[in-house]
Amino acid sequence: MPEMTLVEAIRQAMDEEMARDERVFIVGEDVGKRGGVFRATLGLYEKYGPERVIDSPLAEASIVGVGIGAALYGMRPICEIQFADFIFPAFNQIVNEAARMCYRSNGEWCVPLVIRAPYGGGIGGGLYHSQSVEAFFAHVPGLKVVIPSNPYDAKGLLKSAVRDPNPVLFLEPKKGYRLLRGEVPTEDYVVPIGPARVTRPGRDISLFAYGMMHYYALQAAEMVAAEGIEVEVVDLRTLAPVDRTTILESVRKTGKALIVHEDNLTGGYGAEIAALIAEEAFEALDAPVRRLCGPDVPGVPFSHPMQDWFMPNAPKIAAALRALAAY
Amino acid sequence: MMLSEQQQVDMFWYMLLARRLDERAWILHRQGKIAFHISGIGQEAAQVGAAFAVRKGEDWVVPYYRDLALMLYLGYTPREFMLSLMGKREEPSSGGRQMPSHWSLRRANVVSHSAPVATQTPHAVGIALAITMRREDKVVLTTIGEGATSQGEWYEAVNWAAIHRLPVIFMVENNHYAISEPIEKQMAVEGAAAKACGLGLEGIAVDGTDALAVYDVVARAVEKARRGEGPTLIEARMYRLTPHSSDDDDRSYRSRDEVEAHKRRDPLLRMRQHLEAQGWLGAERLQALEAEIKALVDAAVNEATQAPYPAPEEAAGPLFCSEVTHA
């Protein structure tokens, strides 16, 4: 099994899906000759031509809206939003149109659409190239929200997303595009949308994370393991629909929960996990549920000292784990 | 492309059917038998003129909420309209989930639309893109009010279709009011057709109270689109003879004199006079048509009144499709 980076796994998933199914096509800004600003579609324009790798006008609402139309006709579009920060002009199309189509038509129309968007900070991107947008979308019934944390999952989950008859928002941790490496089969496989995965078993604290934060969560778990704190790390992988069973099983085992995300705290996705645990596993808790999140400021600042202040990382997570272990 | 006597009488028949159904909806609302109605009175000529220019059941139609006459031509039945007004289960657009007149009819290639305006225009373009990718010779007809051409999504979509020369006919039903706002508050140009020159496609204004004139213009645009020569923007000028909806009172923003003046240019009157002048519609035939339509409307109301409501718990879904069954 070859080792590859996150972005290479994502590219391979699209390449294989386009080869498998001629209805699959890519549309977005700079996805053609340029191969995408992160090179996620590198080489696909040359391989599949301008009809299936479409350089769109610089207008996100229509990237998604045109994708929806093509999906209604039976195509399988993969829409790329260049940065998740730019997704808001398409918010109406995603939330009001793609997500509500099946329900509002009583199942007559479905939207087999994938929207890929790089998200997250720590890359010197400032307010508008660093955002985490998952909470806005995980709130919406009718939409699936997937965030891979490693190349293997990224390839398998993206293939599942392309084959799903429903709209899937696929958020890619951009800081991990070249940092996250791992073995990826060259043959066809899928990772189902829905199940979370316990990536490190432990008995003392459940640590819930996704995307880039999962990488730091594993590092933090390793750091505190030397001090005798055994952390169970759960990679959520899919925020909607969320894997309630795996989350609750883990908390019932450990009795303590820490949720980590880089999106800001208030109304963030961690609140939903905390509420789920409080409602369903209250009697198993030995400590209050804790959240370690980005601070409630309007964005990730550009200047490095301020960016570092914003971003959760392994030492911050380790500190939160120690505090929770001591409770 | 001359229409035969029979076709022209048929045109009038659909206009008259739409008018009588629409009038009945207002009555049912005043009787407290339905909760809401949004009217197409005054717009029937343009809708039927355009409808006759497409291949029914083969071309795709992405309408907006005033298009009752267009929908009837495409196969939507009086009974289905009444079911929609009453929120009954068998209503085909949404099973009672959407407000009345939010069309969807898969058997007629009519795509579900929402209430935020211009959201449907990118879908029409996406369908046209898919048609082009599949090398088919179908076209897409999409309609909209003139107020909605102020939306960014409308410009984005028309721009996209113009860039890729996609087979779409954008018909603006310029009824001169967006609820209370006259056209002068929507645009600095004289009408929506003038916007075409900034977007790089042909723009044509036509008298929207003249069904035959609209048919001619749309039929030429359809043929052009089928030849692969790109989209056309058609502005059909007409007048909204009723308040915006059953919740609106238009006396607060326009004079009765103004409305009365436009009633003298009622598109139904115009079509009737044309048919009379041709010797194709005498008093006896008109009476027969009216009687036939009254019977249809009465039957539709009766059947819909007796039809069941959805069970409350049907509101729980469907959130997702299990497979893509269309196209």
Q: Which domains are delineated in chain A? A: 3-183 (3.40.50.970), 197-325 (3.40.50.920)
CB atoms within 10 A of CB A296: 10
B244 is catalytic: yes
Nearest residue of A to residue B95 by CA position?
A106
- Among A231, A227, A230, smallest CA distance to A214 is for A231
Contact B26, B36 (CB under 8 A): no
| Rounded mean pLDDT, A179-198 | 97
Task: Kindly give, in sequence order, each residue whose CB lies less than 8 Å from that of residue A213, ignoring residues fewer than 6 positions away.
Answer: A260, A261, A262, A312, A317
Predicted confidence (pLDDT) at residue B327 exceeds the cutoff of 90: no
Q: What is the rounded distance in angstroms from the CA atom of residue B14 to the CA atom of residue B75?
A: 11
Beta-strand (E) ranges in chain A?
3-5, 24-28, 53-55, 76-80, 114-119, 144-146, 168-173, 181-183, 197-200, 205-209, 231-235, 238-240, 257-264, 290-294
Q: Is residue B128 part of a domain?
A: yes
What's the pLDDT at B1?
67
Predicted confidence (pLDDT) at residue B231 exceeds the cutoff of 80: yes
- Residue A168's SS3 state is strand
Angle, alpha carbons A213-A214-A220 (nearest 5°): 90
pLDDT one-digit tens code per residue, B260-318: 999 999 999 999 999 999 999 999 999 999 999 999 999 999 999 999 999 999 999 99
Q: Is residue B198 part of a domain?
A: yes
Nearest by CB: A166 against B104, B125, B321: B321
Q: What is the rounded distance in angstroms from the CA atom of residue A204 to the CA atom of residue B222?
A: 68
Contact A62, A27 (CB under 8 A): no
What stretch of H or E contains B237?
A: strand B232-237
Cβ distance of B326 and A96 shorter than 8 Å? no
Per-residue DSSP letter, B181: E
Nearest residue of A to residue B133 by CA position?
A51
Say which CATH number the domain at B152 has: 3.40.50.970
Which residues from A are below 8 Å from B153, CB to CB?
Answer: 61-62, 65, 92-93
What's the pLDDT at B46?
98
Range of the domain at B238: 5-308
What's the pLDDT at B324?
82
Nearest residue of A to residue B135 by CA position?
A51
Nearest by CB: A97 against B119, B324, B327: B119
> DSSP per residue over A191-218, as a string?
--SS--EEEE--SSEEEEE-THHHHHHH
CB atoms within 10 A of CB B104: 23
Q: Is residue B314 part of a domain?
A: no
Which residues from A are below 8 Å from B200, CB to CB?
Answer: none
Nearest by CB: B104 against A65, A105, A141: A105
Q: What is the rounded distance in angstroms from the CA atom of residue B61 to the CA atom of residue B70?
A: 9
Q: What is the rounded distance in angstroms from the CA atom of residue A2 to the CA atom of residue A6?
A: 13
Residue B249 sits at φ, ψ, to 5 deg, of -125, 105
Cα dihedral A178, A311, A199, A319, rounded to 10, equals 140
Asked whether this complex has an ipTM greater than 0.85, the answer is yes
Q: Is residue B315 part of a domain?
A: no
Residue B193 sits at φ, ψ, to 5 deg, of -60, -30
Q: Is residue B131 part of a domain?
A: yes
Which residues numbered 230-249 in B keep a CB inside 8 Å of some CB on A? none
Q: What is the rounded distance in angstroms from the CA atom of residue A191 to the CA atom of residue A248?
A: 21
- Among A95, A98, A94, A120, smallest CA distance to A109 is for A98
User: Which pLDDT band holds residue B326 (cuts at 50, 70, 90)?
Assistant: low
Q: Is residue B321 part of a domain?
A: no
Q: Is residue B322 part of a domain?
A: no
Nearest CA-CA distance, residue B8 and chain A, Å: 32
Contact B62, B122 (CB under 8 A): no
Q: What is the rounded distance in angstroms from the CA atom of residue A19 to the CA atom of residue A4?
A: 20
Angle, alpha carbons A2-A162-A39 (nearest 5°): 55
Cβ distance of B130 and A100 shorter than 8 Å? no
At CB < 8 Å, which residues of chain A contact B? Answer: 25, 51-52, 56-57, 59, 61-62, 64-75, 77, 89, 92-93, 96-97, 100-110, 112, 141-142, 165-166
Which residues from B are below 8 Å from A73, CB to CB?
Answer: 60, 126-127, 130-131, 327
Alpha carbon A32 to chain centroid, angstroms? 24
pLDDT one-digit tens code per residue, B58-87: 999 999 999 999 999 999 999 999 999 999
Cβ distance of B104 and A109 shorter than 8 Å? yes
Q: What is the rounded distance in angstroms from the CA atom of residue B117 to the CA atom of residue A92?
A: 11
Backbone angle region of A36, left / alpha / beta, with phi > 0 → left and psi within -120 to 50 → alpha: left
Q: Is residue B148 part of a domain?
A: yes
> For B92-101, b where at least 16 C-beta lie within 10 A, e where not — what string?
bbbbbbbbbb
What's the pLDDT at B325?
75
Bridge partners (DSSP) of residue A123 are none
pLDDT one-digit tens code per residue, A35-88: 999 999 999 999 999 999 999 999 999 999 999 999 999 999 999 999 999 999
Q: How many domains does chain B have?
A: 1
Per-residue DSSP letter, A92: I
pLDDT one-digit tens code per residue, B133-158: 999 999 999 999 999 999 999 999 99
Rg (CA), chain B: 19
Give me the catalytic one of B253, B254, B265, B270. B253
CB atoms within 10 A of CB B259: 17
pLDDT one-digit tens code per residue, A73-131: 999 999 999 999 999 999 999 999 999 999 999 999 999 999 999 999 999 999 999 99
Contact B232, B225 (CB under 8 A): yes
Nearest residue of B to residue A96 by CA position?
B114
User: What is the percent of chain A where pLDDT is above 90?
Assistant: 100
